[in-house]
Amino acid sequence: MKQKIKLLLDDTYPAKGSRSVAFFIQGLILLSLVAFSIETLPDLSENSIYWLQVIEFVCVILFTIEYVFRIYVADKKLKFIFSFFGIVDLLAILPFYLSFVVDLRSLRTLRFVRLFRVFKLVRYNRAIKHFTNAISIAKEEILLFLFVTVILIYLAAVGIYYFENAAQPNHFSSIFSSLWWAIVTLTTVGYGDIYPITAGGRVFTFFILLIGLGIVAIPTGIISSALTKTIDEKLPK
């Protein structure tokens, strides 16, 4: 029985029953996300709220059964519980049960945690699996890139502070207030809420924008290379 349940929950197993279970759970996830979105609509009728609560109750019960079965069939139960999918499965149902013991004023935050159900779809989507494998392969390069980016943001904030502080003390009052400008400029977003007005500040901004263009392109290349590698490994030799 344990082996049969394990095969049914294995979305990579080619049997019809396994695929049906996978599609059913994906449908539940999408249904719960749609219900979660509808709950945010203003002026919902009592009847609508009732049916949304029914949908949430049914989804949570079925997700709970799935979670319990996955723990039951796991060879290393603690490893599954603390794995990425184990934590996602737990967070998908936890807000519902905590709502019985937590102060009602905290429910809004708890309901937001239900959004983690979207990550349950990762388990059933091969394309997303390729992407997560690519992230895993390139994690050292990505961490190095993030570290360098944080340093560049700080240096950009320091530079613009010294160029613009005297001319715009309200916008560039400190290095901390200059960090917002540095982030927006390095990511090439450019909201235009704060900008340099001195000649030195504008020249400095020009070089920061050039660096920002490279910052946008680098992670794309890293992830593309890792995606190509992970897809090639899946192809039959």
pLDDT of 32 strictly over 70: yes
Assessment of whether the complete model's pTM goes beyond 0.85: no
Which of the pair, 127 or 155, is modelled with greater confidence?
155
Mean pLDDT calculated for residue range 153-165: 91
pLDDT of 79 strictly over 70: yes
pLDDT band at 213 (very low <50, low <70, confident <90, very high): confident
Least confident of 67-71, 101-105, 158-162: 101-105
Least confident of 60-64, 150-154, 162-166, 187-191: 187-191
Mean pLDDT calculated for residue range 189-209: 87
Mean pLDDT calculated for residue range 47-67: 92
- Integer-rounded Cα Rg, in Å, for the chain is 24
pLDDT at 74: 85
Mean pLDDT calculated for residue range 21-44: 86
120-139, pLDDT tens digit by residue?
Answer: 776 666 666 667 777 777 77
Mean pLDDT calculated for residue range 146-156: 89
Q: Which domains does the chain show, CATH number per domain?
A: 2-124 (1.20.120.350), 139-234 (1.10.287.70)
pLDDT of 6 strictly over 60: yes
Report the run of H or E that residue 225 belongs to, with start and end: helix 199-234
Pinpoint the alpha helices (H) of 122-192. Answer: 126-137, 139-164, 175-186
* Average pLDDT of the residues of the chain: 81
pLDDT at 12: 60
Unique residue bearing structure tokens 């709220």: 49
By the 8 A CB rule, do 7 and 13 touch? Answer: yes
pLDDT of 28 strictly over 80: yes
pLDDT band at 148 (very low <50, low <70, confident <90, very high): confident
By the 8 A CB rule, do 230 and 133 touch? Answer: yes
Mean pLDDT calculated for residue range 101-113: 61
Mean pLDDT calculated for residue range 44-68: 91
What whole-number distance in Å separates Cα of residue 85 and Cα of residue 138? 20
By the 8 A CB rule, do 90 and 71 touch? Answer: no
119 Cβ contact partners less than 8 Å away, ≥ 6 residues apart: 88
